[in-house]
Amino acid sequence: MPDKFSYDELFAAGSPSTPPGTARHAKYDFAVAYPDPDLVPLDGLVEAAKRAMANDGRDLAYYPDAAGYPELRRLVAEDLANERNIHVDTNQMVLTAGSGEAIAMVTQALIEPGDTILAEEFVYLGSLRSFRRYNANVVGIKCDEDGLVPEDLDSTIRRLKAEGRRIKFLYTIPTFQNPLGSTLPLERRKKILEITGQHDIPVFEDDAYFDLRFEGEPVESFYTLDDTERVIYCSSFSKITAPGMRMGYLVGPTEVINHAWSFKMGGGVNQFAASTIAEYVKNGDMGDHIRQQNDSLRAKRDAMLASLGENFGNSATWTRPEGGLYVWLTLPEGADVAALEEQAFQEGVGYYNGTMFSPDGQGNNSLRLCFGHPSVEMVTEGIAELARIFERHGLLK
Amino acid sequence: MPDKFSYDELFAAGSPSTPPGTARHAKYDFAVAYPDPDLVPLDGLVEAAKRAMANDGRDLAYYPDAAGYPELRRLVAEDLANERNIHVDTNQMVLTAGSGEAIAMVTQALIEPGDTILAEEFVYLGSLRSFRRYNANVVGIKCDEDGLVPEDLDSTIRRLKAEGRRIKFLYTIPTFQNPLGSTLPLERRKKILEITGQHDIPVFEDDAYFDLRFEGEPVESFYTLDDTERVIYCSSFSKITAPGMRMGYLVGPTEVINHAWSFKMGGGVNQFAASTIAEYVKNGDMGDHIRQQNDSLRAKRDAMLASLGENFGNSATWTRPEGGLYVWLTLPEGADVAALEEQAFQEGVGYYNGTMFSPDGQGNNSLRLCFGHPSVEMVTEGIAELARIFERHGLLK
């Protein structure tokens, strides 16, 4: 047997070595942000694929436009104007494999190792992974039940500037934040725009959950509130069609798009999926689907809040989202749900603990609970089971 | 009107600014490596999508495995074993958005700015773009009608090492090379493996065209010839299904996979497309489709070679591929087809000139002619038209 070749000296510095993960599911799965598998519009998608191939299928023979299927970009722009009061040209948009790819592209276009990114003190895992991959210094801003606290944002910026840090942007999920579930009120958005404006810091707004509002009124986006082209925006079809469709989009000033698109590797977005989604949207199926899904999410959120009240009572606090997929549960200090995560999974309840979302590893007494995937009954039972596990292991009195 | 915000000071160094391109087609389109739009198996794909959704559609609700849809990885591994004598475990494979994404991932895992990549003296554009994006120093190795010249490879490595250059890998398309159309004979592959072995240099083998052989016998891959895990391998469904399906794969030693996968942004590959292709393969449709496509490619290659003989006679030379999509046409020195490219497009014939594929901008008297897309009649006419354009502009005597 000849010697095995060693790549040890060849890998780029900072290129980590871990095997690619595979999905696993606890009996009660509150861990990953999945929508309800029973609500994926399979028949609608198959019919849409059929129409897409009949109309435009020959175009599969071509490499897709770098910015992605033009017809889907047109439909997204139309929807952004009608539903979100966001007015963009299709040339200011690149379709991406979910919002995750959009985030990776913007990161690469703007970040050099050591540059600083501001974010909520608990940040969407995929974003955190991209930021770390490209060696950004991620600094968390304090959040309360309404999200980012403007005063902490201001003082943190001043401190970082005094230290000579180069701040590249504020990354935020203002609506139904992942993992906190919070939504920034309008006045706070204006204040945050003002503070970042004083310091010439762009806002990168991740609006993946906009459509998942099942209560209350929509709040104007940073993108709409700004009129100086200082906001970069991304969103996704993952939560309103299915994550497996891998479809999202990046919207921004032309100069940002012109820098960011070339970091999209593998060419324009999957055209089979893009043309299928376009046909699905054109058929008018999306609105009904979103309404049906939000009815389901409201029922699950209600079940989760009720079961938390019943089983956690006064021994923990939690957020009450008006939409989205997440409740953030906080136990008393010292209750280490991070250390218990694997054991809880083995005992049947999956969650992600707070330290996974924290730039500096805080939050071992907090956890994210996603209510999108399990049924109402499973949500109710699963929260009770979670309380029993925590009690059994001495985390709840 | 408030002042527009300027990002000028914010972009990462080396992040270029160009608008994303859109596809355009000349009347006679020899420019881009498209398969024949009439041969895209649209009905088969729609039927496969229907079966995929019926079997596995609920899984769209989950984020795909980072390495991509397990069933398609299993089928690819099976096909590699049966058709290419390549034996790999599904854990040594990551599905990617075409081979282009695989190349970008390997580049990021291995390259630090200034590191050297060896390649054919004319290199696939997508690879060249990735190599440059991550600031590699790409050094072209001389090629003859059989591809890479081992003696030049050896002397180039010695020279670069003497200069203190850090060589990270040899990137090669050994079969039906893009853009040259050449295929490395077995003995030369062995010789190249020996030379790179002496210098501890991995080989990154891009085998995107393996299935497109319409003449002659397959040659053993570098991957199979090596038994030291020194070869990284990628291939693609783009040319045997459709580029718009954006499906390829990276195969390599576990340690390379463990480093490379995390540079795949946007999560695991599009599951709607992956599960559709898996059903298409499982149904046994792929073999027939490839045979039909290769019959068509042979007829087009024959038409192109005949029309080149008729219209270019002794005033140019060209390659005679046994498969794939490319003929490489070389005019006498001084015949600047690079300068004429845009004008030729305006006059109805699209091609890519040699300098686009050259790491150091050589080859302005050469061009790549893709015969996959136009019909046999259009190939014949288009080559005649190309000769007329070259004559009209004084490039042919």
| B47 contact residues in A (CB cutoff 8 A) | none
pLDDT value, residue A290: 95
* Tens-place pLDDT, residues A6-42: 998 899 887 778 888 877 889 999 998 888 899 999 9
Tell me which residue in A5, A64, A169 faces B244 most closely, judged by beta carbons.
Answer: A64
The string of pLDDT tens digits covering residues B51-94 is: 999 998 999 998 889 999 999 999 999 999 999 999 999 999 99
Contact B270 A65 (CB under 8 A): no
Identify from A1, A9, A10 which residue to disrupt to test chain B contact, counting B C-beta atoms within 10 A and taking the largest count. Answer: A10
Give the number of C-alpha atoms closer than 13 A to the C-alpha of residue A109, restricted to the C-beta side. 27
Question: What is the per-residue pLDDT across A322-363, written as a single tens digit (0 to 9) for each?
Answer: 999 999 999 999 999 999 999 999 999 999 999 999 999 999
- Look at A58 and B64 and tell me if their CB atoms are within 8 Å: no
B contact residues 62-81, partner A, Cβ 8 Å cutoff: 62-67, 70
Contact call for B244 and A37, based on CB within 8 A: no
* Contact of B175 with B323, CB cutoff 8 Å: yes
pLDDT digits (tens, 9 = 90+) for A142-179: 999 999 999 999 999 999 999 999 999 999 999 999 99
CA distance A149 to B157: 57
Measure B372 CA to nearest chain A CA, in Å: 10
> For residues B384 and B347, is the Cβ–Cβ distance under 8 A?
no
Q: How confident is the model at residue A234 (pLDDT cuts 50, 70, 90)?
A: very high
Give pTM, 2 decimals: 0.95
**Distance, CA of A105 to CA of A257 (rounded, Å):** 9
Same fold, B28-41+287-392 and B43-285: no
User: Is A60 in Cβ contact with B36 (below 8 Å)?
Assistant: no
**Residue-level pLDDT at B180:** 97
Higher pLDDT, B396 or A136: A136
Contact A97 B66 (CB under 8 A): no
Interface test with B, best of A9, A29, A62 (most B CBs within 10 A): A62
Amino acid at A346: Q
Mean pLDDT of B345-363: 97
Cis omega before residue B179 (within 30°)? yes
Instruction: Look at strands B167-172 and B116-120 and give their pairing.
Output: parallel
| Residue for token pair 């160009």 | B18
- Taking the C-alpha atoms of residue A362 and residue A367, their distance in angstroms, rounded to an integer, is 11
Mutate to test the interface with A, among B1, B39, B63 (most CBs of A within 10 A): B63
Q: How far is CA B218 from CA A149, A150, A307, B273, in A?
A: 64, 65, 64, 29
Q: Does domain B43-285 have CATH number 3.40.50.300?
A: no
Find the CB nearest B40 among A2, A4, A60. Answer: A60
Number of Cβ pairs closer than 8 Å across A and B? 314
Q: What CA dihedral angle connects A308, A311, A313 and A315, to 10 degrees?
A: -100
**Distance between CA atoms of residues A314 and B110, nearest Å:** 52
Q: A28-41+287-392, superfamily in CATH?
A: Aspartate Aminotransferase, domain 1 (3.90.1150.10)
CA neighbours closer than 13 Å in the CB half-sphere of residue B107 = 29
Angle between helix A70-84 and A271-282 (nearest 10): 40
Residue A231's DSSP bridge partners are A203
Answer whether A26's CB lies under 8 Å from A352's CB.
no
Can you read off the two tokens belonging to residue B340? 């004429």
Q: What is the largest CA-CA distance in chain B?
A: 69
* Interatomic CA distance for residues B86 and B251, integer angstroms: 10
Question: Is residue A170 a contact partner of residue A120, using CB atoms and an 8 Å limit?
Answer: no
Per DSSP bridges, beta strands A116-120 and A167-172 are parallel
Q: Is B373 on the interface with A (CB under 8 A)?
A: yes
pLDDT at B8: 86
**Angle in degrees, CA B312, B313, B316, rounded to 5:** 60
**Chain B contact for A59 (CB, 8 A cutoff):** yes
Which residue from A87, A91, A117, A120 is spatially nearest to A103, judged by alpha carbons?
A117
Domain regions of chain A by residue span: 28-41+287-392, 43-285
- Check A32 against B62: CB less than 8 A apart: yes
Digit-coded pLDDT (tens) for B141-184 = 999 999 999 999 999 999 999 999 999 999 999 999 999 999 99
Instruction: Out of A36, A61, A230, name the one closest to residue B242 (CB).
Output: A61
pLDDT tens, B96-135?
Answer: 999 999 999 999 999 999 999 999 999 999 999 999 999 9
Give the separation between CA B34 and CA B242, rounded to whole angstroms: 8
Q: Taking 70 as the threshold, does the pLDDT of residue B1 lie above it?
A: no
Phi, psi of A249 (to 5 degrees): -155, 150
* Span A69-75, average pLDDT: 97
Identify which of B4, B36, B65 has the shortest CB distance to residue A23. B65
Kindly state the average pLDDT of the residues A204-230: 97
What is the nearest CA distance from A62 to chain B, expressed in angstroms? 6
How far is residue A237's CA from residue A254's CA, in Å, rounded to a whole number? Answer: 23
Structure tokens at A145: 């039940």
Which pLDDT belongs to residue A1? 61
Phi, psi of B68 (to 5 degrees): 95, 160
Does A250 lie at the interface with B, CB-CB under 8 angstroms? no
Q: Which of A3, A4, A10 sits opposite B168 (nearest CB)?
A: A10
Collapsing DSSP to helix, strand or coil, A228 comes out as: coil
Query: Closest by alpha carbon to B85, among B244, B239, B227, B225?
Result: B225
Question: Cβ of B245 and A2 within 8 Å?
Answer: no
Cα distance from B52 to chain A (closest Cα, Å)?
10
Element (H, E) at B203: strand B203-206
**Residue B274 in tokens:** 């992956």
Residues B72/B365, Cβ–Cβ less than 8 Å: no
User: Which tokens go with A87?
Assistant: 């007015």
> Hey, what are B328's tokens?
């490489």
Average pLDDT in chain A: 95
Contact (CB, 8 A) for A231 and A259: no
- The CA-atom distances, in angstroms, between B223 and each of A68, A283, B80, B98, B228 are 34, 48, 11, 19, 10
Which residue of B19, B50, B101 is in closest CB contact with A265?
B101
Categorize the per-residue pLDDT at A67 as very low, low, confident or very high, splitting at 50, 70 and 90: very high
Rounded distance between C-alpha atoms, residue A83 and residue A113, angstroms: 38
* A80 pLDDT more than 90: yes
CB-CB under 8 Å, B108 with A257: no
Best residue in B92, B105, B111, B246 for a mutation probing chain A (most A CBs within 10 Å): B246
Min distance B350 CA to chain A CA atoms (Å): 15
- The residue of B8, B10, B101 whose CB has the most chain A CBs within 10 angstroms, and thus the best one to mutate to test that interface, is B10
pLDDT in the model for residue B3: 84
Residue A2 has pLDDT above 80, yes or no: no
pLDDT over 70 at A278, yes or no: yes
Q: Give A-chain residues touching B296 at CB under 8 angstroms.
A: none
Preceding peptide of A253 cis, ω within 30°: no
Rounded to the nearest angstrom, the minimum Cα separation between B15 and chain A is 6
Q: Is the dihedral of CA B125, B131, B136, B139 positive or negative?
A: negative
Q: Does B113 touch chain A (CB under 8 A)?
A: no
Judge: B262–A16 Cβ closer than 8 Å, yes or no.
Answer: yes
CB contact under 8 A, B42 and A23: no
Contact B97, B270 (CB under 8 A): yes
Model confidence at B2: pLDDT above 80: no
How far is A98 from A93, CA to CA, in rounded Å? 13
Q: What pLDDT, on the 0 to 100 scale, is given for residue A20?
A: 86
Q: What is the helix (H) or strand (E) element at residue B83, kind and residue range?
A: helix B70-84
According to DSSP, the β-strands at B167-172 and B203-206 are parallel
**Residue of chain A whose Cα is closest to the Cα of B101:** A266
Mapping DSSP onto H, E and C, the string for A87-150 reads CCCHHHEEEECHHHHHHHHHHHHHCCCCCEEEEECCCCHHHHHHHHHCCCEEEEECEECCEECH
Q: Compute the CA torsion angle B157, B161, B165, B166 (nearest 10 deg).
A: 80
Would you state the pLDDT for residue A63? Answer: 86
DSSP at A344: H
B31 vs B285, more confident:
B31
Residues of A in contact with B93 (CB under 8 A): none
Identify the pLDDT of residue B397: 74
Do the chains contact at B255 and A7, CB–CB below 8 Å?
A: yes
Task: Give pLDDT tens digits for B199-250.
Answer: 999 999 999 999 999 999 999 999 999 999 999 999 999 989 999 999 999 9
Q: Which residues contact residue A365 at a Cβ distance below 8 angstroms, ignoring those fewer than 6 apart?
A: A330, A331, A332, A333, A334, A335, A336, A337, A354
Neighbours of B270 (CB within 10 A): 31
